[in-house]
Structure 1
């Protein structure tokens, strides 16, 4: 049996004050979410563990997530946060990388008022350094920001990156373009992966249907192939629109009917293991 990995989920403590976007008027997520809350879902769906991804643009939150990882074996790795505009970003990275479960960082393009800033020479230079070291980098990007992301990747074509949440296509409206054309160009770079995650919150919350997602999944699996896609629950953010099990089922139903055990193994674990350079938690020596 291959190692099963949920490649994208979050933990937070509201009282930490890092999460300005989590407000009382969204009660589904306005509470603490910790490893003990996720564990029943991981066990039920036979996941060996998860990749915990930052949800706040602070280094303090990354330190907090790493402290959780110290005490919970289900956290296979932590994707933290680093500000590449900070002249001391390298020192922060060097400190984080000393932790055995720090596996990379995420760039939150979604929160940038002007995504074009990622094309500034200093930013490209910083990213080029991490690309040379093959550091895994997550990209959180909205569909209308895919063009500057494409340009960034063109400047740093060797970057080891993954596009979170399918690049957030406009699922509510059902539109495909220009999302498809831009993501297809991004997929042309062989070191870029895509997470099949975050779909239910891009649809109409709690009022979606299976058909809302199928064409987007079909497009992504065709673009990236079974070798460069990963499953991520985006729990607990997904709770705004669906339960954990529904997220798993929606994706499974939307996958190409031609896919078999080998493709499922890659999507639900082996690709995340390879991309993030994870060790097999069961020590069975399973190869990617």
Structure 2
């Protein structure tokens, strides 16, 4: 199965995408499954993982409603605030939907990333980790120190780092990003998405060579069984087309990688991480009810 493990949908009139403004005309419009479908077909992708783009429960409900009627949405990664005492009830409600495959923690948006080390947050995360819930981690490279400390305290977390933890590609910076990613990769249940790279480069003047080092370091650190392709469409359109985003990754893969390893990167790892076989089973059971 070939999968785009990270993309977004939104409808502007819903009003909970405060970061999408008329100053970003390429993004300031609605994006639906019908808009993505030609790209999925072009690259022989069976479907995608739709990831939340707004820190609201309502947006997760919106994505799940899209998944009800669109087979190309293989799973939905929703949003939870683990600082909210009611997070568990929201999680249980979302989990009743067969295509809900996990949630994302938006560390990037936290004024103080060290808040993820508060006892109540660690307790909540440890409980989800004990249940082996897939959790996306949206983090910026300068926020990696508290994340490393969190993983020391919740080492059994089934997590995936979105967008390579957003290294400063436009500046060509590699330190201390690389040393922190090495520590994170040492946790065997942590994955990394090769996504969101073009928007961390110079939007107008990037070149293939800007990305090769970062991609190959992640491939080496996490290995072929813990990496996933994600387009980050339509956010990627700020700097590159869907085709260019795919090409950036394909051109950087070492020639030594086998076809099987490429198959893992472009879908099978996402299927494993998000437990999509369980999704298929739940859907079939629902059909029989």
Instruction: Identify the TM-score tier after normalising by the shorter chain.
Output: over 0.9
1:11-22 correspondence to structure 2 within 5 Å: 11-22=9-20
SS at match of 2:129: helix
Q: Note the alpha carbon deviations across 1:238-277, whole angstroms, 9 max, x for none.
A: 0000000000011000111210201100000000000000
Of 29, 39, 42, which aligns to 2:40?
42
**Which residue is equivalent to 1:286?**
none
Q: Note the alpha carbon deviations across 1:29-60, whole angstroms, 9 max, x for none.
A: 11000000000000000000000000000000
1:231-242 correspondence to structure 2 within 5 Å: 231-242=229-240
Gaps of 5+ in 1: 284-288
Contact 2:236 2:242 in 1 (8 A): yes
**Which residue is equivalent to 1:88?**
86
Task: Give the count of matched residue pairs.
Answer: 281
- Offset of residue 206 of structure 1: 2.7
SS at match of 1:227: coil
SS at match of 1:52: strand
Contact 1:197 1:231 in 2 (8 A): yes
Contact 1:132 1:158 in 2 (8 A): yes
Against the structure 1 CA distance between its residues 281 and 97, is the aligned structure 2 distance closer, same or farther, given a 3 Å change threshold? Answer: closer
- The yes-or-no answer on 1:261 pairing with 2:252 is no
SS at match of 1:175: coil
**Which residue is equivalent to 2:120?**
122
SS at match of 1:6: strand
Runs in 1 of length 4+ with deviation above 3 angstroms? 280-283
Contact 1:206 1:241 in 2 (8 A): yes
Mapped partners of 2:83, 2:278: distance in 1: 34
Against the structure 1 CA distance between its residues 280 and 89, is the aligned structure 2 distance closer, same or farther, given a 3 Å change threshold? Answer: closer
Gaps of 5+ in 2: 282-289
Q: Note the alpha carbon deviations across 1:133-182, whole angstroms, 9 max, x for none.
A: 00000000000001111111110000000000001011000010000000
Q: Which moved more, 1:272-281 or 1:168-177?
A: 272-281
SS at match of 1:107: strand
Of 67, 70, 73, which aligns to 1:69?
67
Mapped partners of 1:75, 1:173: distance in 2: 35
**Which residue is equivalent to 2:166?**
168
Mapped partners of 2:242, 2:104: distance in 1: 23
Contact 2:27 2:235 in 1 (8 A): yes
Against the structure 1 CA distance between its residues 206 and 281, is the aligned structure 2 distance closer, same or farther, given a 3 Å change threshold? Answer: farther
Mapped partners of 2:187, 2:79: distance in 1: 24
Mapped partners of 1:228, 1:47: distance in 2: 19
Mapped partners of 1:236, 1:281: distance in 2: 25
Mapped partners of 1:211, 1:20: distance in 2: 33
TM-score, with normalisation over the residues of structure 2?
A: 0.96
TM-score, with normalisation over the residues of structure 1?
A: 0.96
Of 223, 226, 235, which aligns to 1:225?
223
SS at match of 2:199: coil
Contact 1:48 1:281 in 2 (8 A): no
